[in-house]
Amino acid sequence: MLRKEQSDLLTLTGPGTAMGAMFRRYWIPALLADELPENDCPPVRVRLLSEKLIAFRDTQGRYGLIDEFCAHRGVSLWFGRNEDCGLRCPYHGWKYDVTGQCVEIPSEPEKSGFRAMIKLRSYPLVARGGVLWTYMGPAEHRPALPEYEFATVPAAQSYMSKRLQYCNWLQAMEGGIDSSHVSWLHRDALRSDPLMTGSRGNQYNMGDAAPVFQVAEHAAGLFIGARRNAEDGRHYWRITPWCMPSFTMIAPRGNHAVHGHFWIPLDDGNCWAWSFDYHPTRALSEAELAAMREGKGIHAKTIPGTFIPVANRDNDYLMDREGQKAGRTYSGVAGIAMQDASLQESMGPIVDRTREHLLSTDNGIIMARQTLMRAVRALQDGEAPPGIDPATHRVRSAAVVLPAGVAFAEAAREALMVRPGVGHATV
Ligand code: FES
Ligand SMILES: [Fe+2]
């Protein structure tokens, strides 16, 4: 349970908020690289941390992320003409480069000096691992680029998708670090999803629906371990790293690709669910890629030309009551992504955390909230938050069977760090 002011502190990320200031100290995913597929392609509206922005790629391939609205009289530059190294407002022809600098005002003599004084707010936009990342914080605190493993492996080894989710980022992220719901909500996926089936771990997952949670700290955040019974008194551990502020990685299953998420606020009531899959040592197969594009695993099928899921709140997520009754799905909603999103959206845009009743399986969530609150307060006192240094991003999820009585973070220490050329620890 949180007090209202604690919940506000964690959930609100617009300009001028404490958590917003914290998000603005990290590189965050802004667009899929293929949303800006070529030079001078159409500009794209981007909503991030309650700011309305326009992304574009100029004639020389430079990326820009600038204020959506023209400095003249506020027209949306989504209507802009992307031409000759700049985005030109079609109303009266003012033109901006990728840094937001106004480079042309056709009606104004250049010698007046007026044009040079016009500059839109702008943020860097950098391609890495199939993602265009932005940094929206103070220039003097801009860190080196992120090094999450999915973004550093060869392109053939990873796949990224994103979808719009109609709820606050924290609610979505708390689902991502809550391994206990898998044995319930996603039990059909463990039996039938081509990106999940066939691992021994699935049997442990299904065989013990009362996991014990232990949480350990690392430099960028937490390792959240969910312990279930295996044979001979041993324990099956699913270990989820969470990196500040909103990166999570799901524990692997067999030799399947490994998946995870970023939960990035559009505004306070909506977030981007970024979903990646990658394999550290091999290319993804055609069959795997086809399944990911089809919305299997943690991905979702979206309405073409949008990032809105096909199954969404307007059609009750295509609820299948018969399938629910017959056990084809546990909740009646198909697919892991929308099973999660449907329930998280049902909680309202920002769930009332003063009314919840947490217990020990929520320990990961409780500790993540505490870590976030501590970091937000420290930042207000001028202390940089954890997880900014890219060296701290090189963590992995793991699924391991360990003897009883050991501390997972010690026993699986190597498995929880990126080891180039070595696969994930998985059963
Ligand atoms: S509003 Fe953009 S040029 Fe006038
Ligand atoms: Fe889930």
Q: Kindly report, residue by residue over 129-157, the tens digit of the pLDDT.
A: 999 999 999 999 999 999 999 999 999 99
Residue-wise pLDDT tens digits, 265-313: 999 999 999 999 999 999 999 999 999 999 999 999 999 999 999 999 9
Give pLDDT, residue 180: 84
Per-residue model confidence (pLDDT) at position 209: 82
Q: What is the mean pLDDT of residues 353-379?
A: 95
Structural tokens at position 77: 């530059």
Residue nearest atom 1 in ligand 1 by C-alpha distance: 73
**Does residue 213 sit in helix, strand or coil?**
strand
Ligand 1 atom at shortest distance from the alpha carbon of 73: 1
pLDDT for the residue numbered 182? 87
Per-residue model confidence (pLDDT) at position 391:
97
Which pLDDT belongs to residue 183?
84
The mean pLDDT of 322-334, rounded to a whole number, is: 96
Of 298, 307, 306, the C-alpha closest to 337 is 298
377 lines ligand 1 (CB under 6 A): no
The whole-number average pLDDT for the span 196-202 is 91
pLDDT (tens digit per residue) in 206-242: 888 889 999 999 999 999 999 999 999 999 999 999 9
Average pLDDT over residues 115-120: 98
CA of 310 to the centre of ligand 2 (A): 18
Residue with tokens 């955390």: 353
Q: Is the pLDDT of residue 179 over 90?
A: no
Could you give the percent of the chain with pLDDT greater than 90? Answer: 94
Residue 131: predicted pLDDT: 98
Q: Give pLDDT, residue 72.
A: 98
For every residue of 163-206, DSSP letters joined together read EEESS-HHHHHHHHT-GGGHHHHTHHHHHH-TTTTT-HHHHHHH
Specify the pairing of strand 63-67 against strand 51-57.
antiparallel
Q: How far apart are CA 145 and CA 143, in angstroms?
A: 6
**pLDDT score at 343:** 98
Q: Is the CB of 307 under 6 A from ligand 1?
A: no
Distance (Å) from CA 34 to ligand 1 centroid: 29
At residue 236, the pLDDT reads: 96
Kindly identify the ligand whose nearest atom is closest to the C-alpha of 70. Answer: 1
Nearest ligand to the C-alpha atom of residue 106: 1
Residue 65 pairs in a beta bridge with 55, 123
Q: What is the DSSP letter of 382?
A: T
Alpha-carbon distance 417 to 147, whole Å?
A: 12
Pocket test for ligand 1, best of 76, 87, 89 (most atoms within 8 A of CB): 89
Categorize the per-residue pLDDT at 122 as very low, low, confident or very high, splitting at 50, 70 and 90.
very high
Quote the mean pLDDT of the chain.
96
For residue 172, give the ligand nearest its CA: 2
CA 417 to chain centre: 20
CB 303 within 8 A of CB 310: yes
Indicate the pTM of the whole model: 0.96
Q: Has residue 323 got a pLDDT over 90?
A: yes
pLDDT tens, position by position, 49-100: 999 999 999 999 999 999 999 999 999 999 999 999 999 999 999 999 999 9
The pLDDT value recorded for residue 9 is: 97
